[in-house]
Each structure stands twice: as structure tokens, then as C-alpha cells.
A and B are shown apart, each in its own frame.
Chain A
Amino acid sequence: MADAKALAQERTQLFHDIIDGRIPKRVPVFVGFPVEFAIQYAGKDLVEAQWDTSQLEEIFDKVCRDFYSDLLPVNAFRFPSFYRILGARNFVMGSNGFLQHPEVEGLLQEEYDDFIANPYNCIIEKILPRLYTELDTDASTKALTLAKAFKAFQDEMGNAIMIYGKLTEKYGYGDTNFFAGFTEAPLDFVADQLRGFKGISTDMRRVPDKVEAAAEAATPLMIKAGLHPIPPSKYNATFIPLHMAPFMRTSDFERFYWPSFKKLVEALAEAGHPSHLFVEQDWMRYLDYLYELPENTVMRFEYGDPKLVKEKLGQKHIISGFYPISLLKTGTKQQCIDKARELIDILAPGGRYYFDFDKAPVTLDSVNVENTRAVLEFVATNANY
């Protein structure tokens, strides 16, 4: 236990150093394996383990034991229990055990004005009953259904958090949390489950004023959602996965996406909650915008030019990502290690960088496990300053 405590202190220091603008002893490693990957890796059944979540400790323990990371490398937050109770149309477990996210339309185009006038009322009265079929009923049944779902949500999250605590202590993970809260860019919120990708793409042409107003109206909700209950700290960040921007014209991004998103990140920072952005797809067109965000915004990139990102953002923000998990599947062990070395050579100088993959491996067969372990061990052992 004493060793785990010392290890945790050392790992915490690595992350504190990159956040405080100091050069750490070595490049910190923080990778995440989703629950589906972990279940498959542990040889368990996807359906059974996501319903019987008492199995999760053993499942996550195997991942922690076998894959190097300086912060807890496992997480689960979409459990089938509460989605099923609510009759979810937006998250549905397939026969293979994966929780699918079908394209949905929670808000009709003719309802924009309702949403803009009062987004939370519109969510409760119109959007939730449309996406959650068991809430489309009389008030009494609705109340009981929501109570059951809320109980299930609290039970599942409580169990997961207890497991995280045990594993963090057991394996000596660092005390920095880049998933302390969760919110979305306002336009992504309007796009993802309210209007859908197809709907929002049409709306930006046909009803642009309403799209702009809807993103603005959603912003206070997104800010409030991102203000997690963990006391404000520059070492704990709110996670914001970014979706729509790469699929938009730059002029549309400037009008519909950027103003409310910037307002969100700035408001969280002002409240003492830095943001951890998963910069999905290719944002190279928007690097000058990202530079404007508050100092020490954590940015994990999926695709793009790491040299350009380091040059433009590396002095101000915390950078990560870029390592292609596709290579972990197709490359030789040496090719995989060489790629890690190449990225570290580009991104590590000057600090403000931690190692992560470009995305999380959702399934066990999306990577070669031996390559994955070899790369993580390589970085942990060799990426010293």
C-alpha cells in the first residue's frame, strides 16, 4: 500500500507539472478503455456484465493490471438499466451487447421557438417523452418511471465510483481527474439528440436564425451541466466531446458553433473548472479559434497535424492524442513503438503534453493487445525528460 501511495504521488506530480507549466520527470500516460473493451478483455459476456454490474470490479481490475496508465484507465457511464426503464430510443442495446446510438429527433423543426423561449421546459415537456417512450404517459406513471430510472442511475454510478476509488488506491493512480464533469458544446447538444445530424444540417440552411438562437438558449444549461460537484481545481476538468464542427463550413462554424462554445469554456474556467476537450475528427481549420480558449484547456486530438498543433497551441494548452489506434491493430510491435517515439519527439518538448491514443478502443479486436501494452510500457519507461 505504501508503494501504491508513493506511486500515486509521483503520478499526480507528473500531471500537476504539465498543468502548472513545469517540465515533468517524464511524459505522463493517460489512456482510457471503455467498458465494452474491458468486458471483452476479461472474457465476460457483454450483455450480462452490463446488467450485473457487480462483475465490473473484477473486469476493470484486469485492465488496470495489464495496461499501463498513470491515471485510472477504465470508465463506464452508459448502463442499460436506466435507459431500458425509460424506454430509450437514443441508446438501445443491440443483441451483440453494444449500446447503439441511433439517429434520433427529440425536437421537431417547428418546435424551435419553444426551445428558444424556455429550453428546460421544452426538454421536460416535449423532448424527453419523445426520446424516452416510457415517459410518454400519464403524470403519475411518468413520475414513478423517472424515480426508478433515477434510482438505477444513482446505483450504477455509485457502484462505478466505488470501484474507481478501490482501483485508484490499489494501483496507485494519480489524483487528477479529466472526467470530473461532463457537458457538450451548445450546438452539439442541439444537434446530437435534439435535431439529429441530418436535421441540423438542413436547419442551418433553412432556419439559420433559429439554430443560432437555439445554441445560445442551450448555453446556460450546458454551463450548469458542466459545473460538477467536485470542488473547483485546475487539476480536475470537465469533459466536452466535440462533434459537429469538422462537418461544417468555416462560416457556419463561426456563426453557429464557436460563440456559444467559447462562452461555455470561458464560463467553466471562470468558475474554476477547466475543460477537457475531445477534439474529434480533424480541427486543423480551427486551431486559431482553439488558441483563444482559456489557458490550460486540455485538448485531446483525434486527427490532424501534431506539429502544427504543437506550434500553435503547445505553449498555452495541454495537448494529447494523435496516436492512431488503427496502427495498434495493423502494425508490428516495432512500428507501433516507433510511432509513439515520433509523436513524443514532436509533442513532448516544453511539457504540456501527455500521451494518449487518438480514440478509445471500443472493442477488443480494434487493437492488437500486445502492441497496445508494448506502446504504453515504452512510453512509461522511456519518455523521460
Chain B
Amino acid sequence: MNTKYYKTWEQYLAEHPEIDEKQAKAMAPKMQGYEDMMFSFIMFLLM
């Protein structure tokens, strides 16, 4: 999706070079999960 309101983990990581590899691996599923939960909520509001 080409939007500033939804970021894939890869996009997020590219914007945050301060995150090291170990942290990135640990946080990726949770961060992506919250992004997807918000997307689902927004779409639910219109369905």
C-alpha cells in the first residue's frame, strides 16, 4: 500500500537505523501486529 498511514516492518525499520539486529528480530512481530490491528480496525469502521 502506498500510504503514509500504514508501514510495513521493512519500511519502519528503514526509517529507524538506530534499531540493531537483535532488537529488530525481537520486536518485528509485535510492531507489525499492531500496525495490522489498526489497519483492520480502520477498515472495520467502514464495513
In angstroms, how far is the closest chain B Cβ from the Cβ of A156?
Answer: 12
B contact residues, total (Cβ < 8 Å): 19
**B23 CB-CB contact with A under 8 Å:** no
**Judging by beta carbons under 8 Å apart, are A128 and B42 in contact?**
yes
B residues near A154, Cβ cutoff 8 Å: 37
**A131 CB-CB contact with B under 8 Å:** yes
**B46 CB-CB contact with A under 8 Å:** yes
**A308 CB-CB contact with B under 8 Å:** no
Q: How far is the CA of A88 from the CA of B46 in the complex (A)?
A: 10
**Judging by beta carbons under 8 Å apart, are A189 and B46 in contact?**
yes
Q: How far is the CA of A283 from the CA of B5 in the complex (A)?
A: 37
**A207 CB-CB contact with B under 8 Å:** no
Q: How far is the CA of A180 from the CA of B1 in the complex (A)?
A: 23
**Judging by beta carbons under 8 Å apart, are B44 and A182 in contact?**
yes
Contact residues of A: prevailing secondary structure: helix
**A246 CB-CB contact with B under 8 Å:** no
**B12 CB-CB contact with A under 8 Å:** no
Sort chain A's interface into a size bin.
Answer: 20 to 34
Chain B residue at smallest Cβ distance from A132? B45
What sequence of 0s and 1s flags, for each residue 30-47 of chain B, a beta carbon within 8 Å of any chain A beta carbon?
000100111111111111
Chain B, range 1-37, C-beta contacts under 8 Å to A: 1-6, 33, 36-37
A residues near B33, Cβ cutoff 8 Å: 229
**Judging by beta carbons under 8 Å apart, are A127 and B1 in contact?**
no
Sample of 19 A–B contacts (CB below 8 Å): A106-B46, A118-B2, A118-B3, A120-B3, A121-B5, A124-B5, A128-B46, A131-B45, A131-B46, A150-B38, A154-B37, A182-B44, A182-B47, A183-B43, A183-B47, A220-B1, A221-B1, A225-B39, A225-B44
What is the interface of chain A, defined by CB distance below 8 A to chain B? 86, 88, 90, 106, 118, 120-121, 123-124, 127-128, 131-132, 150, 153-154, 182-184, 189, 192-194, 220-221, 224-225, 229
